[in-house]
Homo-oligomer: A and B are copies of this chain.
Amino acid sequence: MIEPQKIKSLFSIKWTHQLFCTQNAFRSGGEVTQILSELNPPKLMLVVDRGICDANIEYVAKITSWIETSSIECSDILIVQGGEKAKTNDSVVESILNAINELGMCRKSVVLAIGGGAMLDAVGFATSIAHRGIRLIKMPSTSLSACDSGVGVKNGINKYNKKNFIGVFDPPYAVINDYDLLLSLDDRHWFSGMSEVIKVALVKSPELFEQTKTTVSKVQNRDLISMAKLMTASATLHLKHIAEGGDPFERLEARPLDFGHWAAHKLEQMTNHELTHGEAVSIGLAIDLQCSVELGYLDQDVADEVISLLHEFNLPTTHPKMLEPELLDGLEEFREHLGGRLTILLLKDIGQPIDVHDLPESTIKRAIRRLFL
């Protein structure tokens, strides 16, 4: 008989996450050059979201001239699908894997991806699984990705009509927020990120909430410097939560950065992504703020103030699909994705979140009815 034995090993992996907030990152001696000189990768691949090629030809020209003067072995720019379609199937992932294979890129090589959050999610998944991880530098090109997911440590694509069903946690080597990329956004996408700024302010920072309120007219007038300050503040809070929140790879129940997201993810799916993620989050925030009121945690005045602020940025807080019973399936899908007990963050006041483990259907329905008044 073999004597049963247990061999237990403990080890840890250290990660460094670097976020650079700047303008004109491809300038001579700029952040792109700085980071790549430090890394000195054997090969480099630049991947650009088709949306940027269509809307911001000047920026693409800057990338092209940077490539011409760079001493790093670099392929032509690879242009891929942007928007949610980038992650609704595996075609972007496959095209990145094909290119990594064809170029013979190794683990020390670098992929630099410039695009919206969905495109960065898909490219990031491909680089995480090729050779068990090729270095990635992300450059979020939308307000939404620059202030939130684009700076984070998660990637993924949708499958089985479930958001982010496939993906991994894998910190990028660096993130560069080049705010010049925001200049070519249409108004809808310029404002879209403001819901994530307001979200993180509500959960983490009354100061950022005040700052957002005092900057309304500047953001409305597309003042890049004011917008950049909000983006950097939001991204910094996002990263601080990851690095100091004690749970960077989300093994525990609480998920404060997902405030309002159970309904947001479901509404995106129910509207076939006619709503941007930012718009869906705005509605999701409104629902969970009003649920916080209905359950007696939050003053109606505070909820109303936040809802008014969302409206200042052209963000919706209602949508006809909210009235369909299917919305409520979003709660269980949210629970299933995170695992374990349902944990929903509600608000007692700005900067004062509370986790609840039960959100009755009747409360949600009452909250939604109130939002339509």
Question: A residues touching B (Cβ–Cβ < 8 Å)?
Answer: 1-2, 4-23, 31, 42, 97, 101, 104-109, 125, 128-133, 154, 156, 159-160, 162, 164-170, 179, 224-225, 228, 232, 235-236, 239-240, 242-244, 248-250, 335-340
A243/B4 in contact, CB under 8 A:
no
Specify the chain B residue showing the minimal Cβ separation from A335. Answer: B106
Cβ contact within 8 Å between B8 and A16: yes
A168 in contact with B132 (CB, 8 Å)? yes
Known: A9-B239, A101-B162, A340-B108. A132 touches B2 (CB 8 A): no
Copies of the chain in the assembly: 2
With A107-B337, A129-B168 given, name 8 new contacts (CB 8 A): A4-B21, A4-B22, A7-B239, A8-B16, A9-B243, A13-B248, A106-B335, A131-B339
Could you list some 21 contacts between A and B, CB below 8 A?
Answer: A2-B224, A5-B20, A5-B21, A7-B239, A8-B16, A9-B240, A9-B244, A10-B15, A11-B242, A12-B14, A42-B340, A105-B336, A106-B335, A107-B338, A107-B339, A129-B168, A131-B165, A131-B336, A132-B154, A132-B164, A168-B170
- A168/B128 in contact, CB under 8 A: yes
Chain B residues closer than 8 Å to A22, beta-carbon distance: 2, 4-5
In the assembled complex, which residues on chain B have CB atoms less than 8 Å from the CB atom of A16? 8-10
Shortest distance in angstroms between A18's beta carbon and chain B's nearest beta carbon?
Answer: 5
With known contacts A4-B20, A106-B336, A340-B107, A132–B13 Cβ distance under 8 A: no
Cα distance A132–B249 when bound, in Å? Answer: 9
Which of B4, B15, B130, B232 is within 8 Å of A5, CB to CB?
Answer: B232
Considering only CB atoms, which chain B residue lies closest to A5 in the complex?
A: B21
Please measure, in the bound complex, the distance between the C-alpha atom of A133 and the C-alpha atom of B154, giving whole angstroms: 12
Closest partner residue, chain B, to A161 (CB atom): B101
> Given the complex of chains A and B, what is the CA–CA distance between A154 and B240 in angstroms?
29
Contact A6 B18 (CB under 8 A): yes
- In the assembled complex, the CB of A165 is this many whole angstroms from the nearest CB of chain B, namely 7
The answer to whether A166 and B228 touch across the interface, beta carbons within 8 angstroms, is no
Q: Are A337 and B106 in contact (CB under 8 A)?
A: yes
Interfacial chain B residues near A243, Cβ < 8 Å: 9-11
Report the 7 A-B pairs with minimum CB-CB distance, sorted nearest first. Answer: A107-B339, A9-B243, A106-B339, A108-B339, A4-B22, A11-B243, A7-B19
CA distance A101 to B336 in the complex (A): 10
| Nearest B residue (CB) for A153 | B11
Q: Is the CB of A168 within 8 A of B165?
A: no
Residues of B close to A6: CB separation below 8 A: 18-21
Q: Once the chains bind, are B340 and A130 in contact (CB under 8 Å)?
A: no
Nearest Cβ in chain B — how far from A114, in angstroms?
A: 18
Q: In the bound complex, what is the Cα–Cα distance between A14 and B252 (angstroms)? A: 13
In the assembled complex, the Cα of A232 lies from the Cα of B3 at a distance in Å of 11
Do A23 and B11 have beta carbons less than 8 Å apart?
no
Q: Which of A13, A16, A23, A232 has the most CB of B within 10 A?
A: A13
Q: Which residue of B lies closest to A241 (CB)?
A: B9
How far does the alpha carbon of A104 sit from the alpha carbon of B337 in the complex, in Å?
9
B17 in contact with A9 (CB, 8 Å): yes
CB atoms of A13 and B12 under 8 A apart:
yes
